[in-house]
Amino acid sequence: MRYIANPVEVDAQRITGIEERTDNGCVLQLENMDTVLATPEMLARMTPKVGDYWVIQQDGYIYLNPKEVFERKYRKAPGQADEDSPEPMKPYFTS
């Protein structure tokens, strides 16, 4: 049987720091300077690394996503600035 994933729009932040893992989970620092707790359930699926993503779906479901998987699956939503890219070039017209 063939399946197609519905398009999903998410909020996501890159993980920039990881604190020690405990029985309660692992504290992560995000690129927007938020600090979040990855639960043991989240950590059962993967061990986060700097550069991976903290992802929140529109329905509120939160998960971790490896960098390679996230960047292959998602692209920036229209109208979102790309902080890693230089300012777009302005058109050059001559009269």
What ranges in the chain are assigned the alpha helix state H? 40-45, 67-73
pTM of the model: 0.76
- For 36-77, the pLDDT digits (tens) are 999 999 999 999 999 999 999 988 999 999 999 999 888 888
Return the domain boundaries, the chain: 14-73
Q: How confident is the model at residue 93 (pLDDT cuts 50, 70, 90)?
A: very low
- How buried is 3 (Cβ within 10 angstroms: 0-12 exposed, 13-18 middle, 19+ buried)? exposed
